[in-house]
Amino acid sequence: MGQQNFQKDRLLLISVLGLVLMGVLMVYSTTSVMALREHHDQTYFLKRHAIFAFLGILVLGVTSRIDYKIWQKFSYPLLGLSLLLMLLVFIPGLGRSSGGAQRWLQIAGFSFQPAELAKITLVIYLADSLSRKGEKVKQFLYGVVPHLVVTGALVGVLLLQPDFGTAVVLLMVMGILLFAAGVRLKHLLLLVLPVIPAFYFLLWSVPYRRARWTTFLDPWSDPQGSGFQIIQSYLAFGQGGLFGQGLGNGHQKLFYLPEAHTDFIFSVIAEELGFVGVVLMLGLLFCFLWRGFLVASTRGSVFGRLLGFGLVCSIGIQAVLNIAVVVGVLPTKGLPLPFVSYGGSALLANLFAVGILRSISSRD
């Protein structure tokens, strides 16, 4: 433990700010045409995204100065609040649906996605609970059941919205935290076994999920229909080549790529900045994960270490899943790329998480 570890981690901050900056650039490049067409203002999305980036960085700064232990005290109220907000989404007038999903709360002209908050509060709850259980985590009843119930409740609400992508992230974060906290492997296996048929059921029960699977396995089986998205993403990657078409010069984003500014922003990066840009992005992401894990494994109390570990994992998993979808390794499931994709709630929540990480790294 060198002296430098007592200082807030500069590299962590740089990599996050790098990702946010890339996000602002790419959101502008991706949305300018669409924004002009729909809102008569090229910078419509840019402005909104930039405002949230700015707010998020403020949140990061403030949070990093707050002792992270405070979150432990509020872990249950925060959890309750998240669940409540997620349920409010279903109340007409408060909730807003888009693209067949009821995921947003409409507040003062801005949409807020409670699931983003839920990701963090779940991690706080799990870190708090697991750190207090101590030896008892080895017992199924203490180590697994309560965490499974709480996570299950959140996942259940998410599936109703439906927001399958976030649900998967929550389940995986739970699994990883249980694993890291020392839950017995056989207990974890017990958990995974029923999950497999459940996943299978969930993936096939709704036609659009099934379509995602079949087209994932062979996108060219239906190039105009459900294979369309992933093929267009491939084409964007192909167009990009080594050095890309140049910032703003991408063709695919114009309308061939669906959700180019959110779920598929990585394709736009690949097309416009090429493999070089991809390496830069993945490099920044790797840097964030590496420094994040370092914080989680060397600093803070047990709670702090589990909290940091959980936050890094939740962001990391989401990033890996998002990119895996974009490059056709996983079926599409509608997850934005952390720090980069357009979307205020996600940006605020993720920068909030980074603030907690920095708070952990600066305290014992």
Residues that bind another protein (CB under 8 A): 32-33, 36-37, 42, 131, 134-135, 137-138, 176, 179-182, 224, 228, 231, 234-242, 251-252, 254-256, 258, 270, 274-275, 278-279, 282, 285-286, 289-290, 293, 296-297, 302, 305-306, 309, 313, 316-317, 320, 323-324, 327-329
Burial class (CB in 10 A: 0-12, 13-18, 19+), 312: buried
For the CB of residue 25, give the shortest distance to another protein in the complex, in Å: 18
> Which C-beta is closer to another protein: that of 191 or that of 317?
317
Give alpha helix (H) positions in 218-264: 228-240
> Which C-beta is closer to another protein: that of 68 or that of 309?
309
> Which C-beta is closer to another protein: that of 112 or that of 288?
288
- Sign of the CA dihedral with 117 first, then 294, 13, and 244 last: negative
For the CB of residue 197, give the shortest distance to another protein in the complex, in Å: 24
For the CB of residue 29, give the shortest distance to another protein in the complex, in Å: 13
Residue 102 tokens read as: 């009821």
CA separation for the pair 162, 320 (Å, rounded) = 21
Amino acid at 218: D
CA separation for the pair 89, 97 (Å, rounded) = 9
> To 10 degrees, what angle do helices 344-361 and 10-39 make?
170
At residue 160's C-alpha, the angle toward residues 156 and 162, to 5°, is: 110
For the CB of residue 294, give the shortest distance to another protein in the complex, in Å: 9
Scan for tokens 């005290």, then name that residue: 73
> Which C-beta is closer to another protein: that of 59 or that of 295?
295
End-to-end C-alpha distance for the chain, whole angstroms = 12
For the CB of residue 31, give the shortest distance to another protein in the complex, in Å: 13
> Which C-beta is closer to another protein: that of 53 or that of 296?
296
> Which C-beta is closer to another protein: that of 83 or that of 353?
353
> Which C-beta is closer to another protein: that of 236 or that of 346?
236
For the CB of residue 132, give the shortest distance to another protein in the complex, in Å: 9
> Which C-beta is closer to another protein: that of 300 or that of 344?
300
CA separation for the pair 332, 228 (Å, rounded) = 11
For the CB of residue 55, give the shortest distance to another protein in the complex, in Å: 28
For the CB of residue 346, give the shortest distance to another protein in the complex, in Å: 20
CA separation for the pair 346, 160 (Å, rounded) = 20
> Which C-beta is closer to another protein: that of 78 or that of 270?
270
Contact 115, 103 (CB under 8 A): yes
For the CB of residue 109, give the shortest distance to another protein in the complex, in Å: 24
For the CB of residue 131, give the shortest distance to another protein in the complex, in Å: 7
> Which C-beta is closer to another protein: that of 82 or that of 272?
272
CA separation for the pair 336, 264 (Å, rounded) = 8
Secondary structure (3-state) at 242: coil
Mention every residue, 6+ apart, whose C-beta is less than 8 A from residue 289.
Answer: 312, 316
Nearest to 357 by CA among 287, 316, 310, 317: 310
Instruction: Kindly compute the dihedral angle of the four CA atoms of residues 218, 207, 201, 334, in this order, to the nearest 10 degrees.
Output: 70
DSSP secondary structure string for all residues of 42-86: TTHHHHHHHHHHHHHHHHHHHHHHS-THHHHHTHHHHHHHHHHHH
